[in-house]
């Protein structure tokens, strides 16, 4: 009988044994299938083809990396230009900073005397 709260089947004898048997059976099928694929691949290689088509997954990953690099390069250029603008602002504001700090020093020295 299933649990009414989360609808998971309750533990019953042989449940895990059946799962293990199914997993082993699936693994054996996969091994047989890969053996068949290897034989087909060897047959293609004998046909004079020395190259294989790359899987689409690998090509997709490469394409995504390129797009990401382009986007990041654009953002980096934007950040570089913003940094240059900030440097120019700091350079322009430095004289004001020195004037303010000189005024404070003078006021501090006046209080001492």
The model's pLDDT over 41-68, given as tens digits with 9 standing for 90+, comes to: 666 665 555 555 567 788 888 888 999 9
Q: Do 109 and 82 share a structural domain?
A: yes
Q: Do 82 and 44 share a structural domain?
A: no
Q: Do 79 and 110 share a structural domain?
A: yes
Domain assignment of residue 65, yes or no: no
CA 72 to chain centre: 13
Question: Is the overall model pTM greater than 0.85, yes or no?
Answer: no
Mean pLDDT over the full length of the chain: 73
Domain assignment of residue 29, yes or no: yes
pLDDT at 82 over 90: yes
CA quadruple 12, 13, 19, 22: dihedral positive or negative?
negative
CA distances from residue 24 to 38, 40, 68, 88, 91 in whole angstroms, order as listed: 21, 25, 41, 69, 72
Domain assignment of residue 64, yes or no: no
Q: Could you report the per-residue pLDDT of 28-48, keeping only the tens digit for each?
A: 887 776 666 666 666 666 555
Q: Do 75 and 108 share a structural domain?
A: yes
Q: Do 78 and 48 share a structural domain?
A: no
Q: Do 47 and 14 share a structural domain?
A: yes
What percentage of residues in the chain have a pLDDT greater than 70?
54
Q: How many structural domains comprise the chain?
A: 2
Domain assignment of residue 22, yes or no: yes
Q: Which domain holds residue 16?
A: 9-52
């Amino acid at each position: 009988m299933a649990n009414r709260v989360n609808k998971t089947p309750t533990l019953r004898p042989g449940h895990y044994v059946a799962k293990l048997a199914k997993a082993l059976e699936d693994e054996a099928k996969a091994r047989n299938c890969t053996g068949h694929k290897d034989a087909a691949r060897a047959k293609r290689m004998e046909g004079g083809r020395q190259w294989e088509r790359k899987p689409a997954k690998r090509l997709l990953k490469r394409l995504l990396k390129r797009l990401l690099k382009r986007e990041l390069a654009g953002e980096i250029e934007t950040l570089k230009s913003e940094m240059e603008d900030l440097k120019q602002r700091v350079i322009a504001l430095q004289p004001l900073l020195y004037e303010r700090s000189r005024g404070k020093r003078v006021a501090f020295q006046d209080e001492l005397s």
